[in-house]
């Protein structure tokens, strides 16, 4: 309501809505921190309130949303928390050749599995504040060639002295060229990027160049593949003995001096994806390899991931989904992190959802106004450095409802 009063012109846009929502989640988690031993299990209730402002015009679109989540534990009440997430995106077409876009997001989340489905890593009882900003310019160079220039900034802030905050700066230049004269609808891709990962006592610079293609197979299939090389330069602040020893009644110790160690190396990067969109079935598979921040591990890792998902609509209101992911996060000591990292994670999650209410095309995270969903998620994390394995079973039921205002 406040947005409509302060910005009355939005209410007369081509497509404008103010969309409040609420979601109630009940879950049983048999290993909250996915540890090999000393497992913590509990029933958890999460109430989420959300608000979204969406506008779309011929040359301009805006989407801003926010959520507050109240997490209540039945037994481990000391883990109760209030989390918040905010996202915003804007796009403006200057002319038929040039378009500008930007986005920003912020999250304050304390649940251990907040990054599990995207990185395969777990944060054990640590609240993480995440900020991310993106700016991009897309330009049509010729009838067949387009270019984009983008900049990304990311910040990881841990509310714990046991972890080191991390910032990431990335610049990317990408080109797409229509190769239809050789194969109809085939596009060639070329990407070049530079990333700088900064932590206390660490600085990692990564250079990447990839090339590939995108191609729609018939009317329902699409495939995209890129591959290339990376060069990574890492520097770490370490303490080494000087050779001078001091003897005191309690024993002896060596004098230490701070020293910078540097390493450089080459590696392969790339990603591939294939998707299918049918009348009642959608599916996708993707694989990727590259360098990424290792949240909660004080460094970055070379990560390899494989993800598969499928959605089957049994009726207009009822559909089922299944998704699985396999992650390999690996880094040698002094390579991308101060200590060696070697985790393998697998997730498997089937779900059944019944949807009802009005449809919400464009802008809304969910296509229907209401749904009820039951799901099960199995997670297995293996630490190759310690030869330990943790398993988790998560059972969840949730109900969601939203209602548009000022449409």
How confident is the model over 19-31, as a mean pLDDT?
96
Cβ(321)–Cβ(350) under 8 Å?
A: yes
Model confidence at 35: pLDDT above 80: yes
pLDDT of residue 1: 40
pLDDT of residue 14: 66
Tens of pLDDT, residues 168-224: 999 999 999 999 999 999 999 999 999 998 887 788 899 999 999 999 988 899 999
pLDDT of residue 335: 65
Q: Which sequence spans correspond to the domains of the chain?
A: 2-402
Instruction: Report the sign of the C-alpha dihedral through residues 25, 26, 29, 33, in that order.
Output: positive
Give the Cβ contact number of residue 4 at 10 Å: 15
Burial class of 245 by CB neighbour count within 10 A (0 to 12, 13 to 18, 19+): exposed
Using pLDDT thresholds of 50, 70 and 90, give the confidence band for residue 227.
Answer: very high
Tens of pLDDT, residues 47-80: 999 999 999 998 999 999 999 999 999 999 988 9
Tell me the average pLDDT of the chain.
87
Model confidence at 234: pLDDT above 90: no
Query: What stretch of H or E contains 4?
Result: helix 2-6
What DSSP letter does each residue of 223-248 carry, written as one string?
Answer: EEEEEEEEEEEEEEEEEEEEEEEEEE
Cβ(326)–Cβ(346) under 8 Å?
A: yes
Model confidence at 233: pLDDT above 70: yes
Token couple for 226: 């890129």
Using pLDDT thresholds of 50, 70 and 90, give the confidence band for residue 91.
Answer: very high
pLDDT of residue 247: 53
Using pLDDT thresholds of 50, 70 and 90, give the confidence band for residue 2.
Answer: very low
Tens of pLDDT, residues 270-324: 999 999 999 999 999 999 999 887 766 666 778 899 999 999 999 999 999 999 9
How confident is the model over 38-50, as a mean pLDDT?
95
- Does domain 2-402 fall into CATH 1.10.10? no
DSSP H helical segments within 39-147, as ranges?
116-119
pLDDT of residue 240: 53
Share of the chain above pLDDT 70, in %: 87
What DSSP letter does each residue of 347-361 carry, written as one string?
Answer: EEEEEEEEEEEEE--
Beta bridge partners of 257: 240
Buried-exposed string 176-203: b where 16+ CB fall within 10 A, e elsewhere: bbbeeeeeeeebbbbbebebebebeebe
Using pLDDT thresholds of 50, 70 and 90, give the confidence band for residue 4.
Answer: very low
Give the Cβ contact number of residue 48 at 10 Å: 18
Burial class of 338 by CB neighbour count within 10 A (0 to 12, 13 to 18, 19+): buried
Using pLDDT thresholds of 50, 70 and 90, give the confidence band for residue 124.
Answer: confident
pLDDT of residue 313: 94
């Amino acid at each position: 309501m406040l947005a409509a009063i302060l910005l009355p012109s939005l209410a007369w846009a081509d497509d404008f809505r103010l969309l409040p929502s609420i979601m109630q989640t009940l879950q049983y988690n048999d290993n909250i921190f996915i540890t090999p031993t000393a497992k913590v299990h509990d029933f958890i209730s999460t109430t989420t309130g959300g608000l979204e402002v969406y506008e779309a015009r011929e040359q301009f679109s805006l989407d801003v949303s926010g959520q507050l989540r109240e997490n209540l534990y039945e037994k481990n009440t000391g883990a109760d928390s209030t989390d918040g997430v905010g996202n915003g995106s804007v796009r403006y077409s200057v002319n038929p050749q040039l378009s500008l876009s930007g986005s920003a997001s912020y999250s304050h989340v304390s649940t251990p599995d907040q990054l599990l489905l995207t990185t395969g890593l777990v944060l054990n009882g640590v609240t993480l504040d995440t900020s991310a900003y993106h700016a991009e310019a897309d330009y049509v160079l010729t009838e067949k060639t387009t270019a984009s220039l983008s900049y990304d900034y990311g910040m990881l802030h841990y509310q714990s002295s046991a972890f080191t905050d991390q910032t990431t700066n990335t610049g990317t230049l990408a080109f797409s060229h229509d190769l239809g004269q050789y194969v109809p609808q085939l596009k060639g891709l070329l990407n070049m990027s530079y990333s700088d990962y900064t932590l206390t006592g660490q600085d990692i610079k990564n250079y990447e160049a990839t090339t590939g293609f995108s191609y729609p197979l018939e009317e329902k299939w699409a495939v995209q593949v890129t591959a290339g090389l990376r060069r990574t330069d890492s520097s770490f602040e370490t303490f080494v003995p000087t050779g001078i020893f001091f003897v005191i009644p309690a024993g002896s110790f060596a004098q230490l001096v701070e020293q910078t160690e540097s390493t450089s190396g080459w590696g392969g990067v790339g990603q591939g994806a294939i998707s299918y969109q049918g009348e009642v079935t959608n599916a996708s598979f993707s694989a990727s390899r590259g360098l990424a921040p290792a949240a909660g591990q004080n460094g970055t890792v070379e990560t390899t991931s494989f993800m598969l998902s499928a959605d089957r609509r049994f009726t207009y209101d009822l559909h089922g989904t299944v998704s699985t992911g396999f992650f390999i996060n690996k880094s040698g000591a002094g390579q991308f992190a101060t200590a060696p990292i070697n985790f393998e994670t697998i997730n498997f999650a089937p779900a059944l959802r019944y949807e009802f209410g009005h449809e919400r095309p464009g802008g809304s995270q969910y296509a229907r106004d209401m749904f009820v969903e039951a799901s099960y998620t199995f997670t297995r994390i293996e630490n190759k450095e310690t030869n330990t394995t943790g398993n988790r079973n998560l059972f969840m039921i949730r109900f969601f409802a939203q209602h548009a205002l000022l449409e």
